[in-house]
Amino acid sequence: MYRLLIVDDEEIITDSLYEVFQQMMAGKLDVCRAYSAKEALDWLARTRIDIILTDIRMPGMSGLELSEEIRAYWPRCRIIFLTGYSEFHYAYQAIQMPSVRYLLKTEGYSKVTDTVQEVIDELDHSRQIRQRLDQSKERLEALELLAQGEYFRQMLQESDTLAATDTLLGHDFAHLNIAFNPQAPVALALGRLASPHGLSYIEQSERLRSVRLIWDSYMKEQTLSLGIVDKHGDLIWFVQPAAHVEDKLGGHLIPYLEGTLEMVQEACFHSQALRISFTLSGSPCRWSSITEQYERLRKLQQMKLGDGIPVIVKDRVEAEEVASGREGQMLSYRASQLEAHLEGGREQEFIEGLEQLEQYVLHRGDNVQMAVEGYYAAALLLFSHINRLGHYQKISEVGKLMRLDDHASMREGFSYLRQIAKALFGLKKLEARDRTELVIDRICHYIESHLCEELSLVKLAEIHYFNPSYLSRLFKQERGVNLSEYIDKCRIRKAKELLREPEFKVRDVALRVGYEAAHSFTRFFKKVTGMTPQEYRDSLT
């Protein structure tokens, strides 16, 4: 979904264009509006903007000045200048700028909507071209990439040792030809692909490679980033602002990453039919804190809502609040795989992994201690997970987890572990369903209680700690209508209730359902109901 920002100091023009695009492209185009350049800058700092439709002449800051700020925030943003001034020098300045179009207000709504559609088509086309170009490029030299990957995998486990001092870290970076700044903080992004069961190693590797190519195509202009595959088969990226934009992007890195990850998700799906979810640092952290930040992102990965929907989850804890100590202890390779499947909600893979662990320890009949250790490794993992989720009272006979002697045989013990695991996965699915319904109900209640306020997708996402694109998809999945359609229905319903009360003037009703201008409300009401507000009121008598 692309995001359009309409900017004009003339309220009637801004509101009219907003309504036109809301009606024409609901569910395809997220439309925002601003009545000044200053308000537009606030939007640019809050969320990714793909297309901006702006007046050239505005009080305070002109559209041309605004365009320079736009490129600092979102360099891929396309600009359409809309003005009633046809002086040659304005048109000339606009035409000289790359990726910019120039329209006169006298050309009418159809010309404006056609131009926006052309820009959308261009964005789609450029994305396809960029993908083809990126796929043809060679990767970094194999040995250097392998060495860097091994180093950063070790960094995930021992960041406090590898990054004990800036000098030590700088020496390692120089030796391995790593371009990161060892003295600057780094952000992490953990990506998990939704993969069908039964893929071969080569097939899974190709899918991961495609994601990394798409990532590089979107991130390389503004950031330094390096991605590796961690021990759980997920992708983890280390990200810093590129040197040439560090001043501008330094304090804006996390919003930039969040907005760009939306495009990465869409490109993965449209070009390769890949669904990928991300968990993202709430703020950059010190290199020595990477291990703790990485473990936190892994735990956040399992908290997503909405099955099958690519999600972006941002860590709400600031970097300095991340705990300094390490939690838990290292498990064996097979137990680590079970942990990853359990946290990722992959039931079939967990059950198969548990069966493989059983076969592994029972085929070594002369090593009783290994069999006992294998059982308790899986049992402790399940026991810990049940306790953390508060399910101890919801699963029968859970107390037998840590009592191997209660089972007649080791095989019976592992059969019991599978039963407990299936019950746990069933509870997690039910709770995910309940959490989703609760969140959507809370958003609907907020909308109905704040109809007189701004109810843009971006604002609703900010208030409820969502990514805008994810919220849009989740709402449509749960309620069967676009969020904007739901808001319009609520406003119409409320407006009809208020119009039944004679003490409210039409302008009062307009304000109470979020319309500053009565004429905009009248146009909206008639488009939906076929009558003006006054005609509707008259029909009640």
Nearest CA to 263 out of 69, 463, 77 is that of 77
Say if residues 528 and 488 touch (Cβ distance below 8 Å).
yes
Q: What are the start-end ranges of the H helices in 137-245?
A: 142-162, 166-175, 201-219
Q: What is the pLDDT of residue 323?
A: 37
Say if residues 248 and 222 touch (Cβ distance below 8 Å).
no
Q: What is the pLDDT of residue 402?
A: 86
Question: Coil, strand, or helix at residue 33?
Answer: strand
Q: What is the pLDDT of residue 327?
A: 29
Tell me how far apart the alpha carbons of residues 250 and 248 are, in angstroms, rounded to a whole number: 6
Q: What is the pLDDT of residue 100?
A: 78
Tell me how far apart the alpha carbons of residues 73 and 55 are, in angstroms, rounded to a whole number: 19
Tell me how far apart the alpha carbons of residues 191 and 280 are, in angstroms, rounded to a whole number: 9
Say if residues 523 and 533 touch (Cβ distance below 8 Å).
no
Handedness of CA 220, 222, 224, 226 (dihedral sign): negative
Tell me how far apart the alpha carbons of residues 245 and 359 are, in angstroms, rounded to a whole number: 54
Tell me how far apart the alpha carbons of residues 335 and 373 are, in angstroms, rounded to a whole number: 10
Can you give the C-alpha Rg of the chain in angstroms? 27
The top-level CATH class assigned to 2-136 is: alpha beta
- How many residues are there in the chain? 541
Q: What is the pLDDT of residue 304?
A: 54
Overall pTM > 0.75:
no
CA atoms within 13 A on the CB side of 173: 16
Q: Which residues contact 447 (CB under 8 A, 6 or more apart)?
A: 455, 460, 486, 487, 490
Q: What is the pLDDT of residue 325?
A: 36
Tokens 């305070």 -> residue: 60
Handedness of CA 350, 351, 352, 355 (dihedral sign): positive
253-272 and 468-479 are packed helices; what angle lies between their axes, rounded to 10 degrees? Answer: 50
Assign domain 450-539 to its CATH superfamily.
Answer: Homeodomain-like (1.10.10.60)
Tell me how far apart the alpha carbons of residues 79 and 4 are, in angstroms, rounded to a whole number: 10
Q: Find the Cα–Cα–Cα–Cα dihedral 11, 13, 16, 20, rounded to 10°.
A: -140
Name the token pair of 501: 């009360």
Question: Coil, strand, or helix at residue 225?
Answer: strand
Tell me how far apart the alpha carbons of residues 306 and 345 are, in angstroms, rounded to a whole number: 12
What residues form DSSP beta bridges with 83? 104
Question: Coil, strand, or helix at residue 515?
Answer: coil
Q: What is the pLDDT of residue 83?
A: 76
Q: Going residue by residue through the chain (541 aa), what tens digit of pLDDT does each one get?
A: 889 999 988 888 898 898 888 888 777 889 999 998 889 998 988 888 999 998 887 888 877 788 888 878 888 889 898 877 655 555 556 555 656 788 887 888 889 889 999 998 888 888 777 777 666 555 545 566 778 889 999 999 889 889 989 899 999 999 998 999 999 999 999 998 887 778 888 888 899 999 999 999 999 889 999 999 998 889 999 999 998 888 878 778 999 999 999 999 999 988 888 999 999 998 999 999 999 899 888 867 754 544 567 888 888 654 434 433 332 333 356 777 888 888 888 889 899 989 888 887 776 544 566 777 888 888 988 988 888 877 766 777 777 888 887 887 788 888 999 998 998 888 878 777 777 888 899 999 999 999 999 898 888 988 877 788 888 888 988 888 999 999 999 999 999 999 999 899 999 999 999 998 889 899 999 999 999 999 999 998 7
Count CB-CB contacts under 10 A for residue 389: 14
Please tell me the CATH code under which domain 142-321 is placed: 3.30.70.270
Tell me how far apart the alpha carbons of residues 209 and 228 are, in angstroms, rounded to a whole number: 10
Q: What is the pLDDT of residue 91?
A: 55
Name the token pair of 457: 């997708």
Q: What is the pLDDT of residue 241?
A: 93
Domains of the chain: which residue ranges? 2-136, 142-321, 333-428, 450-539
Question: Coil, strand, or helix at residue 495?
Answer: helix
Q: What is the pLDDT of residue 322?
A: 42
Helices (H) and strands (E) in the chain, counts: 21, 10
Q: Which residues contact 241 (CB under 8 A, 6 or more apart)?
A: 222, 223, 224, 249, 250, 253
Say if residues 472 and 459 touch (Cβ distance below 8 Å).
no
Tell me how far apart the alpha carbons of residues 384 and 527 are, in angstroms, rounded to a whole number: 57
Name the token pair of 318: 């600031």
